[in-house]
Amino acid sequence: MHTVRVHTLNLAANSIFLDGTHFRVLKQAELTSYGLHYANDVPDHPQLKHVETQLIPGLDLAVSQFFQHPGVEIPDHLYLDMASIEPGPEVWTVRDLYLDVIVHADGKPELVDSDEYAEAVLEGHLSADEQRRALLSAERVINGLFAHGNDLGAWLASLNIHLDWWTSVNRTALHSSS
């Protein structure tokens, strides 16, 4: 079992440190009314070329879309990490809380990595507060999607959060027009 993954984003230096060891350049970053929107390339990954992420601290949520190398087929979806997000004027810290929700192209959610979450709890990798926040965030996502016809955009819009993406992708129920 791996320890909690920590991403440190330094906006002034245009950098991301993954687990304190892997450095990546921020291609783009923008503060939003709900958090932080950023993008970076994924060097040396066999399938992924680029990732674009929206950090939403008030929901303990990171929403990502991944872009693959040409010729690689990855199902169209959004990946929602339950995360503890500490914003700062220049440095943001993101602690992955193990639980994730995949929102498929048809809008249907799938809770994943609950086995990792359970093992992390048993091994003491998460504080009691982080355990609670992960579960509440996952519950909020699933219930929000169900209450809005599995439309992530509609659910977030009901919370006055409107995700805009720099890289366009043909998506159906992932983003409402509201």
Model confidence pLDDT, tens digit, residues 4-50: 999 999 999 999 999 888 889 999 999 999 999 999 988 877 777 78
Asked if residue 124 belongs to a domain, the reply is yes
pTM equals 0.90
Residue 132 within any structural domain of the chain: yes
pLDDT category of residue 175 using cuts at 50, 70 and 90: very low
Q: How many beta carbons lie within 10 A of that of residue 86, not counting itself? A: 12
What does DSSP say about strands 36-41 and 48-56: parallel, antiparallel, or unpaired?
Answer: antiparallel
Give Cα 115 to chain centroid, integer Å.
Answer: 19
What pLDDT does 31 receive? 96
Q: Does a structural domain hold residue 111?
A: yes
Across residues 127-149, what is the average pLDDT?
Answer: 97
What is the tally of structural domains in the chain? 1
Residue 158, pLDDT above cutoff 70:
yes
In a domain, 166, yes or no: no
Indicate whether 76 belongs to any domain.
yes
Range of the domain at 66: 6-158
Is residue 59, in this structure, part of any structural domain at all? yes
By C-alpha distance, which of 92, 91, 96 is closest to 79?
96
Question: Which among 167, 169, 151 is positioned nearest to 159, based on CA atoms?
Answer: 151
Q: Which helix (DSSP H) or strand (DSSP E) does residue 119 occupy?
A: helix 114-122
Q: How would residue 176 be classed by pLDDT, with cut points 50, 70 and 90?
A: very low
Q: Which token pair is 152?
A: 């992530």
The upper half-sphere exposure of residue 123, i.e. CA atoms within 13 Å in the direction of its Cβ, equals: 12
CATH number of the domain that 48 lies in? 2.40.380.10
Say how many C-beta atoms besides its own lie within 10 A of residue 115's C-beta: 10
| Structural domain includes residue 60 | yes
Based on DSSP, count helices (H) and strands (E) in the chain, helices before strands.
3, 9
Number of residues that this document lists for the chain:
178
**Residue whose tokens read 């872009």:** 67
Is the residue at 163 inside a domain? no
